[in-house]
Amino acid sequence: MSLKRVIVVNKTFPQVGLDFLKKEGVKTTVIPYMDHEPESLPEIKKNINGYDGIIWNTRHRFDAEIMDLAGPQLKAVTTMSSGVENMDVKEIQKRGIPLGNVLQVLDNAVADIALGLIIAAARRFKEGIEELNRNEWKYGVQWMLGTDIANSTVGIVGLGGVGQAIVRRLKGFDVGKFLYCGRTDKPEAKALGAERVPQEQLLRESDFVILACPLTPETKNMINADCLKTMKKNAVLINIGRGGLVDQEALYVALKEKQIFGAGLDVVQPEPLPNDHPLLSLPNCFIIPHLGSSTTETRNQMAIVSAENILNAFNGKPMKYPCF
């Protein structure tokens, strides 16, 4: 393989990924900015021409303009995420450029976060901490009552790798029933003891509704006001997919009016969420700042898989996790 050049478009890319590429004889350039810095996108556009591979580890849109700026020699593109909602997949495919992501690598880390959110929302961690900080620690058998996971019905929207990892963990919590919905039957569902049902039934019967599906035009705002009214009064909504899966205005109303018991969110729209956003004011809405894959081991592995995707494409092999 002749000397190849790769550009990484966000400076937070883990060093292990850069070392991996260097060891394979790939010359790597890193854009010295992060997403939230105003110089980021102009710097990408100014410097992206002439590379054979791109690691698109940014939330900026990868579209026809970027591909035109990159030039016709571009042979491979990969994200450093499982989602590709910021990638113009159809345009990439039309141009015959291989596109990869990092599916499966982050399944366990995200599933761990889901479990944390379930417990935090069901047991009212946010309310308890707020009362503690206000020196309002109360007593009595009716104070700060939550809802049990044991014997509950858990509904998972999207029984992919993350959804399956969540079910495996929840098995130890003595869940009564697992439901799931999605575009197709999952062969793994039988072994996991999960039953496929229509989305409306899942929402109606579940005590915990977990969103673990990708954001697409079809899933955008899939949890809207009507869906929230369908859910149980004691239901807890967990979102570890993407913020755009939920109509947040409708969720605010549902939580404030106690149409549902609570919510635990690792993802919101936009990110970061403004500190005056109404959802942050609610005691029954537990929000964390998109920590799903945020472990050292997982992020390092994501970087290595990104590098492997690019190298495989350079060598005429299928990417480790191809998008098409």
Asked if 290 is an active-site residue, the reply is: yes
Is the backbone peptide bond immediately before 274 cis, with ω within 30 degrees of 0? no
Assign 3-state DSSP to the chain and report helix, strand, coil percentages, each to 5. Answer: 35, 15, 45
DSSP string for residues in 273-313:
PPTT-GGGG-TTEEE--S-TT-SHHHHHHHHHHHHHHHHHH
How far is the C-alpha of 179 from the C-alpha of 171, rounded, in Å? 13
How far is the C-alpha of 309 from the C-alpha of 284, rounded, in Å? 41
For residue 49, give the 3-state DSSP assignment: coil
How far is the C-alpha of 309 from the C-alpha of 101, rounded, in Å? 8
Can you say whether residue 172 is alpha, beta or left, with left for phi > 0 and alpha for psi between -120 and 50 degrees? alpha
Where in the sequence numbering do the catalytic residues fall?
Answer: 290
